[in-house]
Structure 1
């Protein structure tokens, strides 16, 4: 049992080194110019080791995106159900703490892939939780979902691209007010 735990930690460290190397390279040069050899060299591992964990650089790219988006939304689920602004603030703190990843994703030519994946995650969460009563009663549900998801993703892009001009707390408060105006319950989203 102890051997399995050591193996798991080794695998996790190797994946972390591969991801870190990939993200560093991704922030330095175009995705198409990054090779598996570049990643392996930067991670100080054998090229074959990269292939043990990922099919190719596209698989690595996709898994990096999925991993970050999952961690982003998990970061806010630990908050109390009554701490709505705190939950949103934790998302913005997560962006702030992982600025290298998000900046790279938003400034690289493959931004559309990241943006689409983020939109899918946000859209699916909103779709499950939107309140179609009250001010949304006579509205088209899909229209509200697309508008809100696009607005949230666009706001995050703006915030990161502009070197985070507001604190996570201010962003959380402002986004909460926008959600509230549109009968979207952020804690239900999270």
Structure 2
């Protein structure tokens, strides 16, 4: 019962934050305003979070943990990318609210997420360097930036395209399917 109530309270806070972020900058949102919107008292907020920055960090970590849990290295990369995009689309309001607030560094978080995904693909960094035919550190940056830009643009323009369409776009620019096939042959 306590766990359910705790989950419900955190969800209420997340929903209130999402609504507020659609109209205000994160810096301008006070704990009072947030708790009023969530229908909880300040004491309840502080049972879960140290401050609003801790709350945001935890919410972002929860989101990216859920994204990582979707990823299954036994599945084809296509299925993993599509499942990730489906999650982003299903949670669009929160993702959009974070993305539109520059101080929350959404783009960096997306790049870090992609970087973590690459860690489960053997020799990914060397393979990326081979694709772009430039030194590995630069090739990795090109790879991360191009994928992050496409995902961010998709979110910023309303996530109108179907996740299947976006999966095709990401696979076309990233060559990830070829990378996965080659790494399984090694």
TM-score over 0.5 (shorter chain): yes
In the alignment, does 2:88 pair up with 1:95?
yes
Deviations 1:117-154 (A, max 9, x none): 22222223325531525971864222222111111111
TM-score (norm 1): 0.81
The 1:45/1:142 distance shift into structure 2, 3 A limit, reads same
Unpaired stretches in structure 2, ≥5 consecutive residues: none
Q: 2:99 aligns with which of 96, 101, 106?
A: 106
TM-score (norm 2): 0.83
Partner of 1:126: 118
Q: What are the within-5 Å matches in structure 2 for residues 14-29 of structure 1? A: 14-29=9-24
In the alignment, does 2:130 pair up with 1:136?
yes
Unpaired stretches in structure 1, ≥5 consecutive residues: 1-5
CA distance in 1, matches of 2:50, 2:6: 16
Contact kept in structure 2, 1:89 and 1:169, CA below 8 Å = yes
The 1:167/1:133 distance shift into structure 2, 3 A limit, reads closer
| Higher RCO (Cα < 8 Å, 6 or more apart) | 1
Instruction: Kindly tell me the number of residue pairs found equivalent between the two proteins.
Output: 179
* Cα-Cα RMSD: 2.6
CA distance in 1, matches of 2:138, 2:165: 27
